[in-house]
């Protein structure tokens, strides 16, 4: 879960690059797809994005009750389609106690429709990584809407500006926020800094957690401004992970990821402040990797991997630590000494490799004094 909503307004539009086409697009998310979606979203969470256990229960319940949710590709959006981008914001410690209300998404969508005078047909996840990547499927089931097979990050990120629509130069004219009891606020702020401040104030008044909607998209603005195919991809990753004989190899193959090291966690240097986790984790190789030491730098998500003083991978490329036995992603707050883990790395969407993408979400955006070096790994990307 991002620390703040991605409520971004951009100023300098660079030419958007097309995202790679989805590999095996699904046409609907049914009851049997929810567990794989959650497991896959956790992998795309790159250590952050919020735990998927609780949201899997609500989405599973909604899909079982209302039936499969149609999943639509960007290319299949029609002139009648209106897409709204949704994400939760708030404190994880509140999120486990004051759980979400079915009416929240309904309130948001209704308010957006009042504002723009059009029917919203499609929901999209602001980030596919973690709980925010799973939740929109449940809301769509309840509201009878479809879900766009895309998201705003292709992973999880902690900050408002780090969203594909911002990279592509789109502006969000308004944002709407709703809390669990039905209070709703429309925000039209002067810029992103004011938006962050007002969204935070609303969230405090709401008891520490709120749902936000922003970035209205359609068939003209969505292409090139979102990361495509990520819902299908998360489901596919989850399918190959769950119940496989060698889940790590299956996940790596599906992602086109390199297994940087298979080893054990020998040091965790981690502090948590205001819902933000910072630090590093050190993994010592075992078996064929014996003698190797990798350090993963963390700020909510896994951002940089270093071995022998050399940077192997850096953000916005993706790094996920998985359980060597089960292949399941381990979030940064769940890392424990002695865990047997494998570190996977794979290339980010080309949109993030544009100059503006690197400016918004490269190593320097997180305070690292490093240039971004694209990771293409030992495994062929997209193979």
CA distance 164 to 124: 12
Strand boundaries in 33-183, DSSP class E: 69-72, 83-90, 122-125, 146-151, 175-178
Near other proteins by CB under 8 A: residue from 13, 20, 169, 207: 207
* Binder of other proteins out of 93, 119, 191, 243 (CB under 8 A): 93
Helix (H, G, I), strand (E, B) or coil at 215: strand
Of 101 and 242, which has the nearer Cβ to other proteins?
101
Q: Is 101 in the site for other proteins (CB under 8 A)?
A: yes
Beta strands 209-217 and 83-90 are antiparallel
Residue 372, C-beta contacts closer than 8 angstroms, at least 6 positions apart: 314, 315, 316, 358, 362, 363
Q: Does 97 bind other proteins (CB under 8 A)?
A: yes
Using CB under 8 A as the criterion, what x/- string covers residues 141-170 for binding other proteins?
------------------------------
Collapse the DSSP code of 333 into the 3-class scheme (helix H, G, I; strand E, B; otherwise coil) and give the result.
helix
User: Closest by alpha carbon to 134, among 58, 185, 241, 74?
Assistant: 58
Among 122, 131, 132, 203, contact with other proteins (rule: CB under 8 A): 203
Q: Is 339 among the residues that bind other proteins (CB under 8 A)? A: yes
List 75, 102, 171, 186, residue binding other proteins (CB under 8 A): 102
Contacts of 207 (CB under 8 A, 6+ apart): 94, 98, 179, 180
For residues 244 and 250, is the Cβ–Cβ distance under 8 A? yes
Name which of 184 and 311 has its Cβ closer to other proteins.
184
Of residues 47 and 208, the one with the C-beta less far from other proteins: 208
Q: Which of 172, 174, 175, 180 is nearest to 210 (CA)?
A: 180
Nearest approach, Cβ of residue 219 and other proteins (Å) = 30
Kindly state the smallest distance separating residue 197's Cβ from other proteins, in Å.
Answer: 15
Closest C-alpha to 181, from 209, 201, 213: 209
Neighbours of 186 (CB within 10 A): 13
Q: Which of 28, 35, 57, 115 binds other proteins (CB under 8 A)?
A: 57
Candidates 13, 61, 169, 368; binder of other proteins (CB under 8 A) is 61
* Stretch of 38-46, 54-62, 76-84, 144-152 lying at the interface with other proteins (CB under 8 A): 54-62
99 binds other proteins (CB under 8 A): yes
132 contacts other proteins (rule: CB under 8 A): no
Nearer to other proteins, 103 or 311 (CB): 103
138: contact with other proteins by CB under 8 A: yes
| Least CB distance to other proteins at residue 93 (A) | 6
The Cα–Cα gap between 357 and 360 comes to: 5
* Contact window for other proteins (CB under 8 A) among 76-84, 93-101, 294-302, 309-317: 93-101
With H, G, I as helix, E, B as strand and everything else as coil, classify residue 62: helix
Contacts of 125 (CB under 8 A, 6+ apart): 85, 86, 87, 132, 133, 134, 135, 136, 147, 151, 152, 230, 231
Other CB atoms within 10 A of residue 74 CB: 24
- Restricting to residues 261-290, name those near other proteins by CB under 8 A: 264, 266, 274-275
Residue 201 lies near other proteins (rule: CB under 8 A): no
The residues binding other proteins (CB under 8 A) are 53-54, 57-58, 61-62, 90-91, 93-94, 96-103, 138, 180-182, 203-204, 206-208, 264, 266, 274-275, 334, 336-340
């Amino acid at each position: 879960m991002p620390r703040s909503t991605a409520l971004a307004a951009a100023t300098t539009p660079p030419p958007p690059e097309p995202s790679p086409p989805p590999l095996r697009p699904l046409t609907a998310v049914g009851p049997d797809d929810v567990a794989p979606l959650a497991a896959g979203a956790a992998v795309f969470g790159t250590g952050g994005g919020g735990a998927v256990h609780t949201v899997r229960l609500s989405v599973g319940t909604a899909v079982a009750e209302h039936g499969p949710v149609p999943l639509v590709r960007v290319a299949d959006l029609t002139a009648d389609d209106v897409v709204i981008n949704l994400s939760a914001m708030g404190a994880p410690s509140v999120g486990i106690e004051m759980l979400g209300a079915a009416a929240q998404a309904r309130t948001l969508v209704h308010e957006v429709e009042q504002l723009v005078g059009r029917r919203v047909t499609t929901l999209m996840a602001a980030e596919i990584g973690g709980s925010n990547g799973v939740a929109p499927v449940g809301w769509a089931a309840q509201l009878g809407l479809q879900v766009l097979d895309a998201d705003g990050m292709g992973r999880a990120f902690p900050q408002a500006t780090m969203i594909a629509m911002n990279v592509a130069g789109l502006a969000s004219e308004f944002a709407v926020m709703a809390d669990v009891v039905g209070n709703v606020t429309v925000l039209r702020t002067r810029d992103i800094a004011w938006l962050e401040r007002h969204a935070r104030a609303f969230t405090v008044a709401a008891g520490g957690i709120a749902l936000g909607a922003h970035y209205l998209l359609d068939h003209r603005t969505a292409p090139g401004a979102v990361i495509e195919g990520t819902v299908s991809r998360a489901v596919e990753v989850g399918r190959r992970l769950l119940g496989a004989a060698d889940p790590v190899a299956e996940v790596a193959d599906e992602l086109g990821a390199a297994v940087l090291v298979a080893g054990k966690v020998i040091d965790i240097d981690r502090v948590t402040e205001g819902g933000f986790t910072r630090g590093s984790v050190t993994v010592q190789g075992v078996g064929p990797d014996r003698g190797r030491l990798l350090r993963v730098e963390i700020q909510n998500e896994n951002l940089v991997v270093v071995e022998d003083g050399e940077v192997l991978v850096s953000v916005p490329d993706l790094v996920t630590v998985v359980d060597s036995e089960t292949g399941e992603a381990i979030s940064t707050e769940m890392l424990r000494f002695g865990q047997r883990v494998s570190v996977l790395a794979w290339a980010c969407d080309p949109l993030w490799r544009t100059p503006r993408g690197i400016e918004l979400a490269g190593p320097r955006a997180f305070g690292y004094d490093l240039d971004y070096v694209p990771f293409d790994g030992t495994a062929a990307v997209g193979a």
